[in-house]
Amino acid sequence: MISITNLILVFLFGSLISYLLTKANKVLGSIFNFLLSFYALYYVWNIEVGHYEKLFNIFPNIENSLKVTYLGKFFAIISLIVISLVSFFIIEWIRKKPSRPAAFNAFILIMIAGVIGVFFSNDLLTLYVFWEIAVLGSFLIVPMGKEESKKAAVIYAVTSAIGSYMYLFATFSIYSKYGVLSFDKVSSYLLNEPSNLFKWFVILFIASAGIAKSGIFPLHTWLRITHGNAPDAFSAILSGQLVKMGSYVLAISLSVFPSTMLFNAFYHGVPLINYLLIWLGNISIIIGTFMAIRQNDMKQLIAYSSIANGGYILVGLGVMNSIGYAGGLFHVFNHAIAAAMIFLSFAAVVYRTGTTKIDEMGGLIWRMPWTFVTYLVGIISLAGIPPTSGFISKWMIFNALLTKGMFITLAITFIGSVGSFLYVFRPLAGVFLGQLKKKHYEVKEVSPIMLIPMLILVTLTVFIGIYPKPVLDLIASIERNIGIKPIEYSGTIIKTSLGQWNTLTVFTMFATGFIIALILHLIFPKGKKVELTDQYTGGDYLYNYDLYHYATGFYKFIERLYDKHPSFEKLYNMLASFFKSMGEIVNGIIYKVSPSGYVFWISIVILILFWVRW
């Protein structure tokens, strides 16, 4: 087996090959991408924990290196599952989209190189370097989507930069204070740090990179714009994988630098700083849920739901006990898989219909049944309903909050969870059910190449929902490694202090219930099949069935309750326009058409420099 460094180099040089291959033949380039990412998945799956590689030296006495930890391996496996399946999907999808296929394929490989580096970094600076590589790769892909995507890319880059510069600032502060950067050394220095203020600053600034990336309030606004406008298949990677890099940094800032040991307990053993982050998570859940209910654009709807799920992950990780931390990590897995499923099914819908507006579609189930099945299982998992895996993590998070007696957070997670039934149902009803529009009569199901990855994800989420042991094994080893009491489970039974449940029993019982219903359905007389145009209308004569489909303003009655909500997006827009007008003023004073103006300003600057003697 090659070393991780070589793997990353393979991806970086592979991007060049991929570019040329895709120029020659789109499909060939995408197959190359898929093979490479699938190899990376195989590689990461088999890699030994504890594997160490020296990389480069940026600062004197600091060895920048890669090290495989349980946490990194867990995230890397999830990411590469998502990436390799989406790459398979792209093989067919790339025939139609995006605008620059060659560059698209090349940048994806650059991004993967960054992603692998991030999860295996052993110190703060290496993580930053690879983080920026991943951001660069993804940032350049975003503008290949719709018309307004260029703006979306800028917003993405700026928000990401806010987080990563804060992170970098914390990194340099640590370096100047202790002279070390690797995670274990930093954490041992932090444990002996007398100044509480410094600890707060370090943890919060490092966490802010994760906050920006996983779309936690107040840096959540980019998700709607970027996920909504990125190329359709890439949205699956954005929401299913890249956002999880944020969760990884949050996990590092909370558990690798053990927050419960660094700070005093504030409420039921949870330190104040965790509590603060949990509250940010809470606000994200509320914003994500209620804004998702309002959306008419299906991709933006799920983008908002990613904000809410990012909140869930943060709440779970923030509690920092055995069950809550496990719930947070399990939710990383679940949301990655569910978001990938949902965005891929949307990509398939857009591939065939060319629109993302919910009220412009309807009845697609009759033309694209398998895409519908993917979406259905995706939302069942996203809404956390058994027997899919989505329920397991939500159950863990609820349990953790309940044992800690955090009733307000518990109420908010319930709102998020019931609210998710509302928003996931909207595309289900609007896009897939109801009457088929006349313009979509000719729509066909997408080809098997696109269906296979979607159905693999379906199988995966149901399988883990019935038999969660593989994921729980990984999580338990992470917890053991970090020094949290590992989660208890035996076979398919998961235990907490509040009780236990058996995934297999639940599934068996569900299957039994379904079989009973099926038997009842079969023994009684068969119904006559009628068209969807044959309806009870209360006596009205219908002449246009396109208008009969109820999809516009689906939840108008509840949206009305918070129509005039305060918005951070508006605040950011105000800030942006403020800086823009400031810039115009400065421009008006300084920018002169004649060269003499420049000479004047340059001489002023030189004078100041002499005066201050820098």
Partner 1 sequence: MTILKVAAVLLTGFFFGLTLEGISRKVMARIQRRYGPPWYQNFLDVFKALSKIGISHGWIFDFGILMALGGVIATLAFVPLGNLVAFPGLDNLFIIVYLFAVGALGMAMGMVGSGNPNASIGVARALTQMLGYEIPYMISVAAVMYYYKTASVSTLMLSQQDKWTLFKMPIGGIVAFISLLGMLGKKPFDTPIAPAEIASGPMVELSAKYMGLLMLMHTFSIFVEVGLFVDIFLGVSNYWTFLLKFTVVWIFATLISSVLPRFRIEQVVKFYWKVPLSLAFIQALFVLIGWVF
Query: Which residues 427-456 are close enough to bind partner 1 by CB under 8 A?
Result: 428-429, 433-435
Using CA atoms, how far apart are residues 211 and 246, in angstroms rounded to an integer? 6
**Helix 407-427, helix 272-294: angle, nearest 10:** 30
516 versus 608: smaller Cβ distance to partner 1: 516
Note whether 284 and 210 are within 8 A (CB). no
- Our finding on whether 411 is near partner 1 (CB under 8 A) is yes
Among positions 18-77, residues that touch partner 1 (CB under 8 A) are none
Q: According to CB under 8 A, which one of 28, 191, 261, 515 is a site residue for partner 1?
A: 515
Nearest approach, Cβ of residue 486 and partner 1 (Å)? 20
Using CA atoms, how far apart are residues 89 and 82, in angstroms rounded to an integer? 11
Nearest approach, Cβ of residue 277 and partner 1 (Å)? 22
Among positions 336-375, residues that touch partner 1 (CB under 8 A) are 363, 365-366
Q: According to CB under 8 A, which one of 114, 143, 324, 419 is a site residue for partner 1?
A: 419
Q: Distances from the Cα of 361 to the Cαs of 355, 358, 424, 426, in angstroms?
A: 8, 6, 16, 12
Nearest approach, Cβ of residue 538 and partner 1 (Å)? 6
- Our finding on whether 384 is near partner 1 (CB under 8 A) is yes
Q: What is the DSSP letter of 524?
A: S
Using CA atoms, how far apart are residues 358 and 429, in angstroms rounded to an integer? 9
402 versus 449: smaller Cβ distance to partner 1: 402
Which residues are within 8 A (CB) of 608 and not within 5 positions of it... i.e. 6 or more apart? Answer: none
- Our finding on whether 549 is near partner 1 (CB under 8 A) is yes
- Our finding on whether 265 is near partner 1 (CB under 8 A) is no
Q: Distances from the Cα of 391 to the Cαs of 175, 461, 466, 482, 540, in angstroms?
A: 42, 10, 11, 25, 43
Please give the helix or strand (H or E) that residue 335 lies within, else none: helix 322-353
Nearest approach, Cβ of residue 99 and partner 1 (Å)? 36
343 versus 423: smaller Cβ distance to partner 1: 423
Nearest approach, Cβ of residue 488 and partner 1 (Å)? 14
The size of the interface with partner 1 (CB under 8 A), counted in residues, is 76
Using CA atoms, how far apart are residues 382 and 392, in angstroms rounded to an integer? 11
Among positions 473-512, residues that touch partner 1 (CB under 8 A) are 493, 496-502, 505-506, 509-510, 512
Nearest approach, Cβ of residue 389 and partner 1 (Å)? 13
505 versus 567: smaller Cβ distance to partner 1: 505
- Our finding on whether 560 is near partner 1 (CB under 8 A) is yes
Nearest approach, Cβ of residue 234 and partner 1 (Å)? 29
191 versus 411: smaller Cβ distance to partner 1: 411
- Our finding on whether 539 is near partner 1 (CB under 8 A) is no
Q: Comparing C-alpha atoms, which of 296, 423, 292, 442 is closest to residue 356?
A: 296
Note whether 72 and 58 are within 8 A (CB). no
Nearest approach, Cβ of residue 503 and partner 1 (Å)? 10
Using CA atoms, how far apart are residues 348 and 446, in angstroms rounded to an integer? 7
